[in-house]
């Protein structure tokens, strides 16, 4: 099959789904989307699930857009809104996704200048979401909720609460709002019409005004329960729940806002359920680290009970790690297929794409395993790999060769470190984060807990590392910066592969994720053999029993691979080690795909492989 497509021609997309849609187009986004395995799609759209939870880069935003597309495919009249919470610092403009046809999109940006000191934001969020519901219904000519007395009363109550006038149309939480012509209750219980009442959320002595604000929201909630729905599906998607540790007071403020937004999402969804509003829901994506930060820094209000049983976790890990059918690797294959079609090349299967574009092994490891070992099983990892390859010196290659991966690894490692640093932003100040990374930089790829403590005592005395080391290691493990390796059992533990919590004891050493080792300068002291692991010959000892699979047969040798804790190792068995009797024709003795129980002989550093035998197996 003749191909003209090169590595630099492969469609990459963008790390952020919203950017991909804006810059690459909605059609390309949908074509390249891969549904996470075992994701509860129906539970989110039709059941009681309303939260999508996952780490940064797992594809939460992409999933919301895909869900929206499926809703519109089922019913073209369906209405959806997007609310993007931003914890960014500086001026942020309202985002409009004009290239998504028939979508009603709004952005809510929480700017740095909107410093609100209130501890509780639940009623403020109800007010803002009620306004969003009103705006959506008005823009759809009351096609979502019927225009009856209850709707008019609901709309009127919310209209009594007026935000401060601003020069733009940003929907933001203001410092002050004004309660318009409405009613108040005096000490004798008499209701009177009052003029506008200024309600300043920065003021502490505003109990009367704030009580009136709460009463109006409670009244609006009662009317919302009585509204009548049409059969048009209606979904509000809430995304980009971010918080950054720039200043502790600002971090806590943002976390309170996010906590109460999550609680309010569940509260309004309960109203929809109690009112029997079908196909009506607020779906909110939540970063796992934001939930951890809420529990750590502010009163959590039992937020885990709010989300428990109502969340769909985004998990991409898959046991079939050797297969090109792994869902993470499918993202890569799908983008190759898209790019090839533009050049008039069509493939019959994923296997055909795989064989045409990838070598069998990279650094002596099956290529799919190699890619997964350098990832956290997240879609954004694949985008980083593709981007690094496209910008490498070997981007004119017509396949992903060893040279392409070698040339891409430094850039991929740099971008990967930037990604995990963003996870640390929700937990540590910039100064604390730099101390933590400086401790790892230039150290060992694998080390013991005691070795790390010795390094801290020598170079990082009187820092956060001495005071909070165990908690820091727990955070680094949870984020995926480090994992565990057991010397005795030769097994690994990684959070993204389902092993919760770091182990700190003599048998379990600590290992920095392979994708970060290059950028953290962890190879320089240990030489070329670090491509497998430092001191690789001690990974297995003579006499260890392993199950091997035949991947290739050459005159005089079976080329085999074997796996330990999802890591694949390469080996060979000489014809003299196949049996206790003479083997005349090795090609008649075994076939590709056969499996055997074999015994480790030794490690061959010159060929980066293990020598094994089938003899002497009980």
Find the distance separating the first CA and the last CA of the chain, reported in whole Å. 48
pLDDT tens for 571-618 read 899 999 999 899 888 999 999 889 999 999 988 765 667 899 999 887
Q: How high is the pLDDT of residue 269?
A: 96
H or E, element range at 261? helix 248-274
| 609-613 and 545-554 strand pairing | unpaired
Q: Is the dihedral of CA 286, 292, 297, 303 positive or negative?
A: positive
Residues constituting the chain: 618
Q: How high is the pLDDT of residue 178?
A: 60
Q: How high is the pLDDT of residue 488?
A: 84
Note whether 52 and 77 are within 8 A (CB).
no
DSSP code of 343?
T
The domains located in the chain, with CATH, are 39-313 (no CATH), 319-420 (no CATH), 428-531 (1.10.10), 540-613 (2.40.50.140)
The residue with tokens 């895909």 is: 66
CA 297 to chain centre: 22
Burial track 253-262 (b if 16+ CB lie within 10 A, e otherwise) = bbbbbbbbbb
Q: What are phi and psi of 235, to 5 degrees?
A: -130, 140
Nearest one of 66, 173, 129, 161 to 263, comparing CA atoms? 129
Q: How high is the pLDDT of residue 86?
A: 58
Helix, strand, coil percent content, the chain, rounded in steps of 5: 40, 20, 40
Report the interhelical angle of 449-459 vs 430-440 (nearest 10°): 120
Nearest one of 81, 85, 74 to 104, comparing CA atoms? 81
Q: How high is the pLDDT of residue 253?
A: 80
Report the interhelical angle of 402-424 vs 469-479 (nearest 10°): 130
Q: How high is the pLDDT of residue 273?
A: 95
Nearby residues of 610 by Cβ (< 8 Å), 6 or more positions away: 540, 562, 569, 570, 571, 572, 600, 601, 602, 603, 604
Q: How high is the pLDDT of residue 139?
A: 92
Nearest one of 614, 548, 558, 555 to 591, comparing CA atoms? 558
CA-to-CA dists, residue 353 to 379, 413, 434, 618, angstroms: 19, 26, 42, 42
Q: How high is the pLDDT of residue 201?
A: 55
Nearby residues of 309 by Cβ (< 8 Å), 6 or more positions away: 48
User: How does DSSP assign 21-71, residue by residue?
Assistant: HHHH-HHHHHHH--PPTT--HHHHHTSS--EEEE-TTS-HHHHHHHHHHHH
H or E, element range at 534? none
Q: What are phi and psi of 607, to 5 degrees?
A: -115, 5
CA distance 379 to 32: 11
In the chain, which residues have pLDDT < 50?
A: 1, 87-119, 166-173, 181-195, 524-535
In this prediction the pTM is 0.73
Joined together, the tokens standing for residue 93 give 């403009």
pLDDT tens for 372-387 read 999 998 999 999 999 9
pLDDT tens for 558-573 read 988 888 765 677 889 9
CA distance 487 to 535: 12
The edge-to-edge listing of strands for the beta sheet with 161-163 is 161-163, 176-179, 197-200
Burial track 349-384 (b if 16+ CB lie within 10 A, e otherwise) = ebeebbeebbbebbebbbbbbbbbbbbbbbbbbbbb
Alpha-helix runs per DSSP H in 393-513: 402-424, 430-440, 449-459, 464-467, 469-479
Q: Which 3 state secondary structure label does DSSP give 132? A: helix
Nearest one of 51, 480, 473 to 287, comparing CA atoms? 51
CA-to-CA dists, residue 162 to 47, 159, 180, 182, 391, angstroms: 35, 7, 6, 11, 51
Q: How high is the pLDDT of residue 279?
A: 92
């Amino acid at each position: 099959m003749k191909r003209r497509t090169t590595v630099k021609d492969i469609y990459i997309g963008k790390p952020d789904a919203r950017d991909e849609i804006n810059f690459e187009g909605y059609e390309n986004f949908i074509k390249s989307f891969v549904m996470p395995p075992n994701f509860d799609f129906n539970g989110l759209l039709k059941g009681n699930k309303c939260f999508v939870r996952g780490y940064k880069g797992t594809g939460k935003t992409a999933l919301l857009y895909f869900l929206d597309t499926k809703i519109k495919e089922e019913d073209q009249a369906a209405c959806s809104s997007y609310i993007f919470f931003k914890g960014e610092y500086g001026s942020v403009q309202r985002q409009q996704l004009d290239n998504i046809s028939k979508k009603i999109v709004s952005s809510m940006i929480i700017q740095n200048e909107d410093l609100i000191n209130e501890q509780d934001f639940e009623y403020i969020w109800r007010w803002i979401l009620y306004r969003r519901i009103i705006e959506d219904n008005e823009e759809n000519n009351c096609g979502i909720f019927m225009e009856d007395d209850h709707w008019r009363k609901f709309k009127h109550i919310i209209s009594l609460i007026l935000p401060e006038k601003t020069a733009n149309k940003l929907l933001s939480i203001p410092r002050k709002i004004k309660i318009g012509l409405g009613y108040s209750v005096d000490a004798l219980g008499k209701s009177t019409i009052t003029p506008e009442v200024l309600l300043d959320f920065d003021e502490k002595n505003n109990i009367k005004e704030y009580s009136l604000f709460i009463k109006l929201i409670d009244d609006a909630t009662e009317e919302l329960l009585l509204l009548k729905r049409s059969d048009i599906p209606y979904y509000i998607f809430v995304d980009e729940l971010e918080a950054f540790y720039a200043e502790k007071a600002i971090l806590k403020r943002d976390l309170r806002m996010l906590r109460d937004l999550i609680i309010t999402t569940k509260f309004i969804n309960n109203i929809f359920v109690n009112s029997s509003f079908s196909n009506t829901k607020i779906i909110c994506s939540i970063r796992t680290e934001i939930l951890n930060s809420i529990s750590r820094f502010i009163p959590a209000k039992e937020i885990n009970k709010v989300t428990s049983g109502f969340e769909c976790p985004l998990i991409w890990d898959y046991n079939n790690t050797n297969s090109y059918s792994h869902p993470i690797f499918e993202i890569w294959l799908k983008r190759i297929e898209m790019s090839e079609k533009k050049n008039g090349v069509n493939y019959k299967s994923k296997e055909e794409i795989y064989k045409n574009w990838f070598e069998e092994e990279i650094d002596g490891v099956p290529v799919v395993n190699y890619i997964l070992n350098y990832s956290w099983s997240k879609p954004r990892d694949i985008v980083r790999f593709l981007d690094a390859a496209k910008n490498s010196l070997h981007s004119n290659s017509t396949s992903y060769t060893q040279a392409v991966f070698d040339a891409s690894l430094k850039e991929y490692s740099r971008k990967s470190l930037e990604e995990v640093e963003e996870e640390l932003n929700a937990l540590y100040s910039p100064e604390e984060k730099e101390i933590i990374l400086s401790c790892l930089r230039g150290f060992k790829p694998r080390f013991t807990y005691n070795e790390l403590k010795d390094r801290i005592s020598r170079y990082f005395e009187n820092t956060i590392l001495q005071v909070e080391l165990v908690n820091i290691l727990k955070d680094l493990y949870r984020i995926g910066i480090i994992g565990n390796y057991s010397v005795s059992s030769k097994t690994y533990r990684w959070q993204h592969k389902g092993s919760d919590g770091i182990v700190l004891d003599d048998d379990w050493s600590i290992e920095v994720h392979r994708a970060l080792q290059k950028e953290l300068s962890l190879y320089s002291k240990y030489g070329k053999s670090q491509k497998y692991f430092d001191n690789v010959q001690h990974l297995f000892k003579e006499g260890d029993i392993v199950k091997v699979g035949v991947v290739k047969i050459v005159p005089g040798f079976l080329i085999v691979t074997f796996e330990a804790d999802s890591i694949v190792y390469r080996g060979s068995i000489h014809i003299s080690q196949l049996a206790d009797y003479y083997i005349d024709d090795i090609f008649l003795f075994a076939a590709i795909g056969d499996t055997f129980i074999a015994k480790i002989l030794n490690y061959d550093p010159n060929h980066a492989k293990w020598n094994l035998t089938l003899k002497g197996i009980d």
